[in-house]
Structure formats: C-alpha cells, structure tokens
Structure 1
Amino acid sequence: MAPSASSTSALVDLVALIARSLVDNPDKVVVREAPGDRFPRIELSVAREDIGKVIGKDGRTAQSIRALLNAAASKAGLRAHLDILD
C-alpha cells in the first residue's frame, strides 16, 4: 500500500512544527520527505547553531521527536523514519 501524499505531508508538517518551536532560527528549518527503501524518510535540517537543540542531551530530544513521528505515522497506518541532517 503506497502512502498517501496528504498523510506524509502531515508528518512533514508535524516535524516542522516541533523543530520550529525548539530552535532559535525557525526560518532556517527545512523538512522534506525523501523516498526510503520500505517507508518514507523525513529529513530535518536546521541552522548549524541549532543542531544541539534538536538533538538534545544524549539524543533525548531527537528520540522524543522520533517517538511522536512514529505515533502519528502509526495512526495514519504508515511507518516513517526521521533523519536529522547536519
């Protein structure tokens, strides 16, 4: 079953909303969907000085964002993977 464009765009919007609320430069947040092997890959890019805010101490913030993404994807009947680009 191919993912619908509206459900994957909702996942992109969710990650963008979360990332913009965490960083100092919300205008430099870029979230896009990239094709993955088995399921969509959501790529998150932020300003270099904000990367620590998105990853968090010991990666806890990044894991929390991934947990929210997975919960939203599951609700839509999808799976998704978050890549934080540096």
Structure 2
Amino acid sequence: MKELIETIVKPLVDFPEDVQVDSTEEDHRVTYRLSVNKSDMGKVIGKQGRVAKAIRTVVYAAGASQQKKIFLEIVE
C-alpha cells in the first residue's frame, strides 16, 4: 500500500524525494501517514481537498480486500 500511495503522490509534487509514507497497524485498522515538502502540501490537498479525497478513495478501494479499515492522514 505504501508503494501505491507513493506512486500516486510523487508525480504531483515538485520534490518527490521528500515524499514519505509511514504506517501504524492496530487491531482492526491501518493508518498511513503521508508526509510531503511544505511547498507541495497544497498540490497534494488540492482545491477544497479534491486531490486528497481522490487519493483516499483509491487507497480505500485498494484496501477493501483486507480485513482491516484503512486510513490516510496527510501531515506536515
């Protein structure tokens, strides 16, 4: 799943080397924390959060086959 998130986000940003995805796993949920360069934050979130929502939709759909709930957080 980390590779999928990186594959989606890296073409969107100016500093793809700063893209980092960390994950924490609990009983019935997996949380992925996406970190990008500060200047790329707006590109990842998009106008009114549309890009972030689209990224989340793809990640949630890809994780639907797992038995755990998937969450994606975008952090600075």
TM, length-normalised to structure 2: 0.91
Instruction: Name the SS for the 2:57 alignment partner.
Output: helix
Q: Which residue of 1 aligns with 2:31?
A: 41
> Greater strand share, 1 or 2?
2
Query: Which has the higher relative contact order, 1 or 2, with Cα contacts under 8 A spaced 6 or more apart?
Result: 2
SS at match of 2:69: coil
Q: What's the C-alpha RMSD, in Å, of the aligned pairs?
A: 1.4
Structure 1 35/76 Cα, relative in aligned 2: closer, same or farther at 3 Å?
Answer: closer
Asked whether 1:80 is paired with 2:64, we answer: no
Identity over aligned pairs, percent:
37
The runs of 5 or more residues in structure 2 that have no matched partner are none
Tell me the amino acid that sits aligned with residue 54 of structure 2: S
Offset of residue 21 of structure 1: 1.2
- What is the alpha-carbon distance in structure 2 between the residues aligned to residue 78 and residue 72 of structure 1? 12
**What are the ranges of 5 or more consecutive residues in structure 1 without an aligned counterpart?**
1-10
Runs ≥4 residues deviating over 6 A: none
Aligned residues: 76
TM-score (norm 1): 0.81
